[in-house]
Amino acid sequence: VMQGISFREAYKIVAHDIASGDYSPDKILKHTHIGSIGNLCLDKIKDKFDKYNKL
């Protein structure tokens, strides 16, 4: 999709690569927004959990 092809076509290409065993996922995570897989902010969640459990 980021290369200018439709989502449907990109999906078909990836599905074919997975089925044929040619797919290898990108291990570098580029997700940086809070709560994304690359930035879960678990320390902030723990801080909130601890704060509210003291009440």
pLDDT in tens, 1-51: 677 899 999 999 999 999 999 988 777 767 788 888 778 999 999 999 999
The pTM is what? 0.43
Query: Rounded CA gap, 2 and 26, in Å?
Result: 14
Q: Quick one: pLDDT at residue 52? A: 92
Closest CA to 44 of 30, 32, 34, 33: 34
Helices (H), the chain: 7-20, 42-53
- CA Rg, the chain, in Å? 19
Domain boundaries, the chain: 7-53
